[in-house]
Structure 1
């Protein structure tokens, strides 16, 4: 689990006003128009990876020197392509970075229960660091040696552990062509061309059984996602491309649509690398709206902490992400970053997700669900029933919209589609407990407007997770919930990762429950 706050100044298109973001488990989206800075912000974690790796090595003398406020000179360089620069072009002021570890593998980085801020200044001539409390008290810096008494009280392990986790990223740019790119070509962190094809061949038929099985499972995922009755993928004899056997017919990869090639290239690369965090630019590239969320959640299965993505699609961001940041860049000025203030206009979200209510064009049904964490878990369940590309789910954000006074929003939806259902938590503490007033009011409102749905018999979606799936997803110390038990820290997994448990469940885990019966009738 990670939760790290970053502030970034004078990096590429960002100026003195800091770009502030939180990197945490789950899904984070950067949304903006072209050249607003979303790709730069995404690539930031890739470009400072050398620094993060230094910080992640707790025995490294340079890391300790920087944390204690020393000025060891140029000990790292951003990873940039030839002819590029990480420093902002129109200023001589240094690039400044701040790190606050709210949570990490070794907990929060604190002193006497107060969070600490590590600030670093970088120029081409050298690097200097500072350590202060959140209230601004400097405890170590170029002119402030770390007090011996404080040093004995302060553990740097939480910082080192969090930075090591943050360094384990994989960056995928918007270009993912595998054909005719050269024998050993790579594009940032992904292999392309012959190098990609050779890696695929080694994983599929090499000597490592685990690799063979992973590719077999990946091909099965692709078969499900694209609706083939049969699918096999092999390297061509000359190792220049891939041969696709789809529904008994042979194709070269270049004969298939860009969407399938996109899935194959990215999924294979991520499967091989299995990063802590995946950084991907424009995951919607070449994909129909009905495949985009499926693509993101499938990718996340091969990561430990989740996915950070830059996108033009606000609809995808609103549907998939736990955190959304919008970026703007006024003409001639620096880029700015703001947390997205989600709105309640479900109809607007439908338009952003390209919903047309025409089965031939994608989704044909709308399902209103509790929230985003439930949406991602339900995506896994819909896969078990073969309905993940038929049903478009819209999050209600819990009590924010599960209320009796949202009639206008519901009636607007009804004018667009007649095939609408809802699925919400009961939040009951016991079998006989009544629904809360706001939830009962929402159910009554839907009934008045002819919308059918399900209030779960058990407390919430996670109360349907079996013990075996919970332990497989996390660890033997994680425990399942009873039917009406409220989730707490004792369970050993964050709610944002509910989907990881759901992805390991089978249809038999749901059969005979009210949830399983409801999904079957959608």
Structure 2
């Protein structure tokens, strides 16, 4: 698990009041208008990478010595020439506070109280002032009682392990193009132009069989996503040549969306970062492909994706955590957590639903919540329906009740083919559904909304043992038909990671189950 809190002052368009941003595993969205600051905040993690790298040097001994032996401490951010790192018009330094709440090595062993690591970046362009305090404000110094334990490698392990994840991030800016960029070696963390083409050639036909196989699998993903019967991609001079259905094309002939997919997927495939930072993943992509794109990228990461987007709909369906960023004229940017509203019709509009198959989705499927959307996206792939069905989260018991007739009636007025799929939450075979779920099913029957209640407890109860082990390692164990994930022994994944197990399932795994029959019939 990863949970690192940043408190930032006077960074770019952010002001004196601390901007509080938590980096967690899974999917996190930053939503805002143009020039609101969402892209700056996403790029922050790229720009402070030199600082994070120094903190991790020699397994944290550099940090411990700087803290407790008064060593000189300096660091320099990675900023493009001519850009400001500090807030324009302010004479005060930028300040960064880092608080590790959780990470690969767990929490700090100081009675479970997180510690605050503080550093500053001055107007003179120098990163200075490393300081460590307890959350209660006590500064940790060498001559305080019991200070010897503060300098130990064990004590610093949670901080260093969590920051080590953040060092291994990959930042992908909003411009992605393999064409017309000549010999430029890269754009932030991705390769472009000639460099990209050469890298692709090396991985596809070089001497490393693992790289060869990875590119092959990626091409199968592209073929599925774009609906090609067959596809091959090769380097040709300074561009890519594609063979689709026996016809040769240059990548420029197939549109910006396809080029966007290829360059990002190849770069992420090669790098395989622990955490991916991507600006505007919806760029040049139809709404029906955007979630698929994010999930496909996340398969090549260990901890997930943080993305900046203009699309509230994409954020609401894809993200476990959502922040909104706003910036009044003449003011500084403001970051806030986003609270989902439960207006299903509004969400349909945000997702650009159009009840015309040639324009996008042609069915609406109401599901339990966001984790089910990502999981079912993987399972619908097995039936070739992942781009036909728009899934809408009902936030569990918030909307799975018998008194939501108005919400469902408004949804039906939009038109389209509406269905539902909900968990049974049964504890044993034959158990009666809870009253709210019985009432919801009865309401849907009255409104002629077809759907299905799972025979087993929930989606995760359909995963096979082999799929679970491929996704989470040999220590993971499959669930029984009615086991609750949070209480199962031997389980090492969380519900937000269900999609990873679902991506390892095959159609044969779902054959002869009620879930498979329902998905087949949609």
TM-score range, shorter chain: over 0.9
2:130 aligned residue: 129
1:427 and 1:210 map into 2 onto residues whose CA distance is 42
Cα shift at 1:246: 0.7
2:504 aligned residue: 504
2:144 and 2:39 map into 1 onto residues whose CA distance is 41
Cα shift at 1:233: 0.4
Q: Does 1:279 align with 2:280?
A: no
1:127 and 1:392 map into 2 onto residues whose CA distance is 50
CA gap of 1:49–1:434, structure 2 versus 1, over 3 A, is: same
1:348-381 Cα offsets, whole Å, 9 max, x none, are 1111111011000010000001111111010000
SS at match of 1:459: coil
Preserved contact between residue 485 and residue 494 of structure 2 (Cα < 8 Å): no
| Gapped regions of structure 1 (runs ≥ 5) | none
SS at match of 1:59: helix
1:449 and 1:189 map into 2 onto residues whose CA distance is 51
Preserved contact between residue 73 and residue 125 of structure 1 (Cα < 8 Å): no
Query: For residues 55-74 of structure 1, what are the structure 2 equivalents within 5 Å?
Result: 55-68=55-68, 70=70, 72-74=72-74
Cα shift at 1:150: 3.9
Cα shift at 1:70: 4.2
Compute the TM-score of the two structures, normalised by the length of structure 1.
Answer: 0.96
Preserved contact between residue 362 and residue 416 of structure 2 (Cα < 8 Å): no
CA gap of 1:68–1:377, structure 2 versus 1, over 3 A, is: farther
Cα shift at 1:305: 0.5
Q: Does 1:42 align with 2:39?
A: no
2:60 and 2:516 map into 1 onto residues whose CA distance is 53
| Gapped regions of structure 2 (runs ≥ 5) | none
Preserved contact between residue 60 and residue 156 of structure 2 (Cα < 8 Å): no
1:110 and 1:118 map into 2 onto residues whose CA distance is 15
Preserved contact between residue 412 and residue 418 of structure 2 (Cα < 8 Å): yes
Cα shift at 1:133: 2.4
| Aligned pairs, number | 515
RMSD (Å), alpha carbons: 1.5
Q: Does 1:120 align with 2:112?
A: no
1:146 and 1:39 map into 2 onto residues whose CA distance is 43
Q: Does 1:228 align with 2:231?
A: no
CA gap of 1:339–1:67, structure 2 versus 1, over 3 A, is: farther
Cα shift at 1:328: 0.5
Query: For residues 31-430 of structure 1, what are the structure 2 equivalents within 5 Å?
Result: 31-68=31-68, 70=70, 72-74=72-74, 76-123=75-122, 124-134=125-135, 136-140=136-140, 144-145=141-142, 147-152=144-149, 155-236=155-236, 238=237, 240-430=238-428
SS at match of 1:393: strand
Compute the TM-score of the two structures, normalised by the length of structure 2.
Answer: 0.96
2:444 aligned residue: 446
1:236-272 Cα offsets, whole Å, 9 max, x none, are 1x2x000010111100111111111110010000000
2:521 and 2:66 map into 1 onto residues whose CA distance is 60
1:45 and 1:359 map into 2 onto residues whose CA distance is 40
SS at match of 1:360: coil
SS at match of 2:358: helix
1:67 and 1:397 map into 2 onto residues whose CA distance is 45
Preserved contact between residue 59 and residue 160 of structure 2 (Cα < 8 Å): no
CA gap of 1:393–1:189, structure 2 versus 1, over 3 A, is: same
Preserved contact between residue 29 and residue 310 of structure 1 (Cα < 8 Å): yes
1:438 and 1:53 map into 2 onto residues whose CA distance is 51
1:488 and 1:328 map into 2 onto residues whose CA distance is 37
1:67 and 1:394 map into 2 onto residues whose CA distance is 49
CA gap of 1:115–1:146, structure 2 versus 1, over 3 A, is: farther
